[in-house]
Amino acid sequence: MFAQKHTVPITVDASGDATAYTPVLNGRLLNIIYTKDDFANGVDFVITGETTGLSLWAEDSVDAAKTISPRQPAHSQAGVALLYAAAGEAVTNPICLAGERVKIVVTNGGVSKSGTFDVIVAGPSG
C-alpha cells in the first residue's frame, strides 16, 4: 500500500480561530494526526471534506496531541444504517477522498498559537 502524508501547520489569529486546507487528495483516509505545538488547552476543531462536507473529525476541548483513524457509518441500499446483529453497534467503512481537499477549522486555539495536522492517505494523490 502506498501512503502519503500531508502536513498542515496552522496558526490561529487573535480570536483563536483559523481555517486551513490540505492539497487536493485522492485515496483512502488512514489517519489524522494532531500535534499540539502551543494551542491553548480546550482547542476545538472540525475537519471535513471541503467539497462533500463529509465529516472526518470533530472534537471539542482537546488538550493533547492525538491520532485518529476515522471511518464512516455503512448503510444499506435503502439508506438504512447497518448494524451488527448481536450488539446493535454500527458497521463502519473506510473513508475515501476523491479529488477534494481536507478542510481544518480550529477555534479556541488561543491568541496567535499554533498546531499541526498530518493527514495520511493511501493511494495516489493530486
CA distance 10 to 24: 17
Q: Which domains does the chain have, with CATH numbers?
A: 3-122 (2.60.120.380)
Helix (H) and strand (E) counts for the chain? Answer: 0, 10
Q: In a structure prediction context, what are the per-residue pLDDT tens digits for the chain, which is 126 residues long? A: 689 999 999 999 999 999 999 999 999 999 999 999 999 999 999 999 999 999 999 999 999 999 999 999 998 899 988 887 777 788 899 999 999 999 999 999 999 999 999 999 998 754
Residue that is written with C-alpha cell 478542510 in the block = 103
